[in-house]
Amino acid sequence: METEEPQIQRIFNAAMDVSCPQERAVLVEELCEQNLSLAKEVQGLIDAVDRADAFLENINLNDSLPIDPPTIYDAFADLTKRPRSRSSGFNVGEGADIPFRKFGNYELIEVIAHGGMGVVYKARQNGLNRVVALKMILTGAFADDEEIQRFYQEAEAAAKLDHPGIVPVYEVGCCDGQHYYSMAFVEGNSLAAQIKESPVEPRESAEILLKAARAVHAAHEAGFIHRDLKPANILLDRNNEPRIVDFGLAKSSQGDSDLTRTGTVMGTPNYMPPEQATGNNKEVTSASDVYSLGAILYTLLTGQPPFVAGNSTETLMQVLQDDPLRPRYLKKGIPVDLEAICAKCMEKNPVDRYSSADDLALDLERFLNGSPIHAKNDWKRRIKKWVAREPVLATHLALVPTLAVAVFFATVLSERGGAADDLSDRFGWSTRFMINIYVLLSWGAVAIILQKIHNRFRSESFIPVIWAGIDPIFLAGLLCLNNSPRGLLLSSFPLLILIISLFRRVDLISVATFFSLVGFGLIVVFEPLNIMQEEIYEPDKSLGFASYNLIFSVCVVLTGIVSGFQAHRLNKYARSR
């Protein structure tokens, strides 16, 4: 049976395709099949749309805006994005001329910008005879309470900020049900348009960002976090001075209510920090704006945003997982110090960024003055970021020298204790040690290759599975070369399974368990039996060779089963939250 809401939407959409009001009423009556309650709801939606049309006609703007037939899900939500099937309405395309249409105390001249919440006009304020930028809520009298509250919060945030780098607000009000506020009109392009028109030199980029950072710091001092800093929201006046606009997503840092619900990602993916990309708005602080300033500097230096993908979701995943390419890789001639400043701003961890926008401005000032900067683009920072980005490979490569040292001391101790094996008898302990080193280096080389393949095909899961199978085999090869102390070294198999279980993937645990059994089987088959019997079973005559192998194999299997079960429970718990 059809649910009520889709039925209302279907009838409403069908009725909106009919232009004649009488024919539309007959169609609604037929489709509702004498369901008076349903007919009343549909007619209410139609009347609301008619009232919206009447309002748009009253402000006497005569261009048409193509809009889709409205639905009950997006009724009046964003008139700039919906094509209209009728001729009434207005054009909110940027640059659309509106030859002096009256709106309260203003005369609208042309549209200069539009977005999800409203439209911005170039207008003349009567009485004061000055040109202003006039922003309105597109939905006007039909805006919901949250939309109106957000609009006035934006106006309030900008009005409280007194800084030459922030566009000031002149007046806030409501005229004929249409909410608006006026602000200073900036004659010039946005920073985004400037970047498109021509490349910006590194020194000029630093000067622009220095002034923008001072303005952002002033906003932070006043208790507001912008949360949507990007080149399009920085205007350049005739003197090439940056002016920050659009505080529509501004958040108060004083603990006031935030209209953005937790879990909602708001902002521009190319310029937002990781903590904002997760939708955890409680973690968005002034450090988040510092990240966005760094992303703007990156765009100024390279001509492109730090992260660009096919869609917003992929871009957000890059923001969370990847590091941007170094600017010097994309464009030659970028100063190393300016690249270091950009990198410090865009650290994934907010603690590692500049502590404030003012600190960023001070470092940019040092760069412009030729003084040493505080941001360091040194090898320690790069290694730290690499370990955080590729922990599995880093762990493998760290194990190579660690195991080499362990094998060396194990070999020396076994030689001094008189425990010799076939390899040491045949080649000597030094040759045996070098064979161990070759095995470890091969293990590390395979790890590097697998990591590179995994980076290339990040969305595929076959590389971790292959990795989980190869590690036990290399471990078995290493154990075949080193007999003593056998019991301690064999414990590496269950330890390896436990380490892999930290990734909470049951398939990886299963593969690691299976190949650990295979690796142990290879040791049993190819190892001289007398050595194992002598070193393991001699202290306890009651435990036979076959019994030991069986008990150890069962222990490996149990380790895999328990680890897999625990990983499954943790995953199930995480999904249920």
Q: Tens digit of pLDDT for each residue in 361-406?
A: 999 999 999 998 988 766 676 777 777 777 888 888 887 778 777 7
Tell me: pLDDT of 331 over 80. Answer: yes
Distances (CA, A) of 565 to 74, 161, 418, 468: 45, 56, 44, 17
Tell me: pLDDT of 51 over 60. Answer: no
The answer to whether the 97-184 and 191-384 domains have the same CATH topology is: no
At residue 69 the predicted structure's pLDDT band, cuts being 50, 70 and 90, is very low
Per cent of the chain over pLDDT 70 is 71
Q: What is the mean pLDDT of the chain?
A: 76
Report the C-alpha gap between 289 and 86 in whole angstroms. Answer: 43
Q: Where are the domains of the chain?
A: 4-63, 97-184, 191-384, 390-576
Distances (CA, A) of 162 to 168, 246, 287: 7, 15, 21
Model pLDDT, residue 530: 40
Global confidence as pTM: 0.60
Report the C-alpha gap between 125 and 107 in whole angstroms. Answer: 7
CATH pick for 191-384 out of 3.30.1440.10, 1.20.1250.20, 1.10.645.10, 1.10.510.10: 1.10.510.10
Model pLDDT, residue 277: 86
At residue 334 the predicted structure's pLDDT band, cuts being 50, 70 and 90, is very high
What is the token pair recorded at 102?
Answer: 């009256």
Report the top-level CATH class of 97-184. Answer: alpha beta
What is the token pair recorded at 469?
Answer: 């199978």
Tell me: pLDDT of 3 over 70. Answer: no
Question: CB under 8 Å to 286, separation ≥6 — which residues?
Answer: 220, 225, 253, 356, 357
For residues 488 and 356, which has the higher predicted lDDT (pLDDT)? 356
Query: Please, what is the Cα angle at 270 between 331 and 356, to 5 degrees?
Result: 90
Report the C-alpha gap between 450 and 396 in whole angstroms. Answer: 11
Q: Classify the C-alpha dihedral 102-103-106-108 as positive or negative.
A: negative
Report the C-alpha gap between 134 and 125 in whole angstroms. Answer: 9
